[in-house]
Amino acid sequence: MKGFGSILQDYLEYHRITQTEFADRLGISNKHMNEIINGTTNLSPELMIAISILTDIDINTIFFVEHKKSVYDKLLKKYKSEKEIQKFLNSFHLNEMQKKKWITLRDSTSVAQNAIDLLNFLELKDFEVYDNYIEKRIIYKKLDYADQKKIYLWLRHCDKLIADVQVTKYSSNRLNDLFDDLKKERMKPFNKERIIQILSQYGIILCIEDALGGSKIRGCTMVKHKTPVIYLTTYFKEKSSFYFTLYHELGHIKTHYNRLINKIVEFDNEEKEADAFSLNQMIPRKIWDIINECYDERERICLENNIPLCFLYSRLAYEKKISYSSKEYNEHIEKINI
């Protein structure tokens, strides 16, 4: 790949300027000039500026073309052929991202352009920093249940969706007020936009977005510039499972705020802790004990305490007191469409 050299060659030919003459104008040797034209050397910032001044070609154009060449050369050195480069790029699920309109491929036939478009989406300098960056941003004790790359691509897409979202200043002192508002909200018919608005009033961004096919993650949380952000997928078909995951992520914010600054952290013990927090928010332990003691009064107890019946029967199934296939469980499911 010649990079800017081919553009410069066309410019010189159009304006009837010899390579020797232009080399003299730049103050470089004919050999160096030939290397620039043939793309066998990289342009220094000083030469880019000089060429832009002499030709009136936009410096951004020169830089962009040279950057594309640099990215391509690094990939070719590592993967040896364009076929292998494209195979590597496809590991980022380019086709699916393009179908979902997460990414725009300006020339899908160009390996070099695909690489640049992907880096723009990832917002990374080059692919050499990818592994180190993702290891710092997504920290899992175990990865056997989740595709780390799919998770990161989903996160990048969600990041772009919330880039301009404004919420009030977050304060941990207001979390109990938030839980009170959610306690009222969950008794109403499910409304995604209303839940997003409630969280925003307490300084928390909630983004609910479709994930890449085969992604096993249902939700995650991080803190961006002091603002907690909860990302949830659209896999939820029932109200109880949605609230379980929402409370789970709110539990992380309540307990692990400082650890979540600019990264996702998931360890087994912390996940179990967040699960326990979620179950307690849905049906507090004291009320659950009463339900178990007064089982025939379980629905009355729940309604008196602003607990949706779908929460009750989901908890009963969760604790294997009833079956997920049972009539009473299925009669009380509140299906949702996100």
Read off the pLDDT of each residue in 143-160 and give the average, rounded to a whole number. Answer: 82
Instruction: Report yes or no: 146 and 216 within 8 Å, Cβ to Cβ.
Output: yes
How confident is the model at residue 215, as a pLDDT? 85
User: Nearest CA to 165 among 193, 125, 186?
Assistant: 193
How confident is the model at residue 273, as a pLDDT? 93
Distance CA 129, CA 151 (A): 17
Beta strand 219-224 with 264-266: parallel, antiparallel or unpaired? Answer: unpaired
What number of helices (H) and strands (E) belong to the chain?
A: 18, 5
> SS3 of 36, please?
helix
In tens, the pLDDT along 85-132 reads 999 999 999 999 999 999 999 999 999 999 999 999 999 999 999 988
| Triad 118, 121, 122: Cα angle to 5° | 85
Residue 8 identity: L
In tens, the pLDDT along 318-338 reads 999 999 999 999 999 999 998
How confident is the model at residue 140, as a pLDDT? 60
CB proximity list for 111: less than 8 A, separation 6 or greater? 72, 75, 82, 85, 86, 89
Q: Which residue has better confidence, 5 or 148?
A: 5
> SS3 of 220, please?
strand
Handedness of CA 320, 325, 329, 334 (dihedral sign): positive
How confident is the model at residue 71, as a pLDDT? 95
How confident is the model at residue 267, as a pLDDT? 67
Distance CA 98, CA 90 (A): 11
| Triad 44, 48, 53: Cα angle to 5° | 150
Distance CA 34, CA 23 (A): 9
Distance CA 176, CA 253 (A): 12
Question: How far does Cα 110 stand from its chain's mean position?
Answer: 25
Q: Count Cα atoms within 13 angstroms, Cβ side, for 250.
A: 28
DSSP 146-196: S-HHHHHHHHHHHHHHTTT---PPP-GGGHHHHHHHHHHHTTSPP-HHHHH
**What values do phi and psi take at 254, rounded to 5?**
-65, -40
Q: Which residue has better confidence, 137 or 20?
A: 20
Least confident of 8-12, 196-200, 217-221: 217-221
pTM of the model: 0.89
Distance CA 231, CA 206 (A): 6
Average pLDDT, the chain: 94
Read off the pLDDT of each residue in 51-62 and give the average, rounded to a whole number. Answer: 97
